[in-house]
A and B are shown apart, each in its own frame.
Chain A
Amino acid sequence: MSTVEAPSAEPAVEVADLATERLDLGYDGTRVVHALDLRLPPGRVTAIVGPNGCGKSTLLGALARVHGPQGGAVLLDGRDLATLRPRDAARRIGLLPQQAEAPDGLTVRDLVRYGRHPHQGLLRQWSPGDAAAVHRALAAADLLDLADRPLDTLSGGQRQRAWIAMVVAQETAVVLLDEPTSALDLGHQLEVLDLVHDLAARGRTVVLVLHDLSTACRHADHLVAMRAGRVVAEGPPADVVTPALVRELYGVEAQVLRDPTSGTPVVCPVRRVREG
């Protein structure tokens, strides 16, 4: 049976400085992101928002080397990400893409163990560090009791937390999550977003792609608003989100109110407006 040491202290997270420099992204022929200059504030939660097809998921993928740049570069601590060995990059940057699926029958712990892959090798398949990291990740996602349950027996929120725990076990300075709350109900959304806050509180740089602008305002320290492959606004949500921005992003006339609890912007759509 597991006689793991008591939840050992997490190794200090080295802060990572992730930025893009005149980054062009696209899929054969079509340019999706244009000459993007962006810096993600270290140790904070950044939310990338924008209409469907604005390039936000593509950007997130590029930050994790899923797509290579067509021009420009992603810089990690000033070094071109493309020059790093994949395994070294994966020790600094973790990614949870959308709609991740796991083989049937896999348990939460099996999945979280995958997060240790970049720290392992053919002759280094399981170290004390791996055991401790998996334990910490399960604890952080509040999944210790469910660790040996098959994923397909969990609720949507629990399953999503398990996937995030996999990325947490990777112990990267940067955590990228693509729409981690889509398809979850309100309670499960908060369950996941609380976990996101915990990660940032421990010094990790978290980048979320989010669909819902109000959710982004409520949970992010820094907002990046994209449209047609370019950044149209960037900064603290309270400063950035205005009726004019909502109109520019979505072609929607809206009122922007203040959340009575958090004071963050809440977007109330009024009507669709024709764009010229």
Chain B
Amino acid sequence: MTAAPATLASAPPGTWRLALRDRSLLVDRRAFVAAAVLAALVVAAVAAGLAIGTASVPLGRTLPAVVGVGEARDLLLVRQLRMPRIAAGLAVGAALGVAGVLLQTLARNRLATPDTVGLNDGATAFAVASVVAVSTTVTPSAFALVGSATAAALAIGLAGGTGHRGYRFLVVGLGVGAALGSVTNLVLARAPIDEANRAFPWTIGSLNSRSPAAVAVLAVALAVVLPVAVVLGRQLRLLRLADAVVTGLGQRVRRVRLAVVAVAVVAAGLSVAVAGPLGLVALVAPEIARKAAGPRVVPVVGSALAGALVVLLADLVGRTVAAPLELPAGLVTAVVGGPYLLWLLLTTRTRRMP
């Protein structure tokens, strides 16, 4: 094509077009603003999480403490105790948000999340089994990932793919999740009490004293998986339409599905490996992101940020609401998310996703 002046390629309303010669990117303005606002809220939640607790650190002293300046007490609270768990919360929340929005888009159903299609149950079952039954040299994190992949493979295999309306995938996933959940219970019931005690934290999501190694693995995985999910964004938008439409537009449906499932499995599995199953984050976070980003996009980044925000807030609430007693973040998300799930089931046409 002859070099047309860039001004002629007026971007569609509501978008910014960034162009360099014949290369071009289209940024949805509403989605961009939504992500920026969510990012600001995440920053605020991080600051609050670092400052607030059974022993508070004034905000003015929190930031210096982060970079290692301040009294020994502040340094202990901020750097030793709170920073690791907030890093874990960020990574876990982002991973759950991404896994949720991917699975929902894949199944064209808002109820499809790592919790509901069994990925979290699979990861938990394998992690628990590894603590109880297998010699502890193998990290439960690896087992959580394998468990999540197993659950996905079972659900997809038994459903004969993820196609059509995704109902079958969802229903089969529920069954797979229930079966794997009972495996967890069985293993815990049969195990000696000490080992069951050691495995128990894997059955309820919490950011308390999580393995820094697992957090690091998840962070690295996110660094790979998030860009992949962002690059898949254009294809994800298409996946919201019927398969025949998508094929007609020249997109290889199966290939995109496979990539989406792979990313979701890695994100969900590793999040369980870090924090155990944090219920309903993956359901709520994409919902927040979609409301904010509008119907044009599938908000991958927005869902990651919303997920991080939800987990950080849940952890903060869990740490403060009944202090000095600490409620696990997974309990908080379940208490808040449960009614929301009910409301969603009762009010929405689940066939279409906004």
Contact = CB atoms under 8 A, between A and B. Distances in A.
B339 interface: no
Contacts of B17: 125-126
Interface in B288-322: 294-296
Interface residues of A, number: 51
Given A100-B241, A103-B240, A129-B1, A3 B249 contact: no
A95 to B, nearest CB: 3
Q: Is the interface of B mostly helix, strand, loop or mixed?
A: loop
B242 interface: yes
A176 B245 CA distance: 11
A270 interface: no
A90 B241 contact: no
A131 B9 contact: yes
B12 A113 contact: yes
Given A66-B248, A128-B9, A101 B352 contact: yes
A106 B295 contact: yes
B24 A131 contact: no
A6 to B, nearest CB: 11
B190 interface: no
B238 interface: yes
Interface in A38-96: 61, 64-66, 86-91, 93-96
Contacts of A104: 295, 352-354
Contacts of B231: 122
Interface in B231-253: 231, 234, 237-238, 240-245, 247-252
B354 A100 contact: no
Contacts of B4: 128
B243 A123 contact: no
Interface in A107-131: 109-110, 113-115, 117-118, 120, 122-131
A20 interface: no
A122 B234 contact: yes
A243 interface: no
B8 interface: yes
B13 A109 contact: yes
Given A103-B352, A103-B353, A64 B238 contact: no
Contacts of B325: none
Contacts of A96: 245, 248
A172 B26 CA distance: 23
A95 B245 contact: yes
A2 B25 CA distance: 17
A257 interface: no
Nearest to A98: B244
Contacts, number: 126
B296 A110 contact: yes
Contacts of B194: none
B9 A114 contact: no
A105 B244 contact: no
Given A87-B250, A115-B249, A126-B17, A134 B12 contact: yes
B353 A118 contact: no
A145 interface: no
* Among B7, B25, B243, B247, residue most surrounded by chain A Cβ atoms (within 10 Å): B247
Contacts of A120: 234
Interface string A121-149: 01111111111001000000000000010
Nearest to A91: B250
A127 B234 CA distance: 15
A61 B238 CA distance: 18
**Residue from B17, B245, B354 having most chain A Cβ neighbours under 10 A:** B245
Contacts of A124: 22-24
Nearest to B23: A123
Nearest to A60: B244
A4 interface: yes
B10 interface: yes
Contact of A131 (B10, B243, B248, B352): B10
A143 to B, nearest CB: 14
Contacts of B134: none
Residue among B10, B12, B248 with max Cβ neighbours from chain A (10 Å): B248
Given A2-B13, A4-B10, A105 B248 contact: no
A204 B243 CA distance: 24
Contacts of B351: 101
A120 B243 CA distance: 19
A66 to B, nearest CB: 5
A273 interface: no
A102 interface: yes
B335 interface: no
Contact of A125 (B8, B24, B250): B24
B37 interface: no
A97 interface: yes
A61 B353 CA distance: 25
A170 interface: yes
Nearest to A4: B10
A117 B244 contact: no
B227 to A, nearest CB: 12
Nearest to A172: B248
A116 to B, nearest CB: 9
A5 interface: yes
Interface of B: 1, 4, 7-13, 15, 17, 22-26, 231, 234, 237-238, 240-245, 247-252, 294-296, 351-354
7 contacts: A94-B248, A101-B242, A114-B241, A117-B249, A124-B24, A128-B4, A128-B8
Closest CB pairs A-B (n = 3): A90-B250, A105-B295, A95-B248
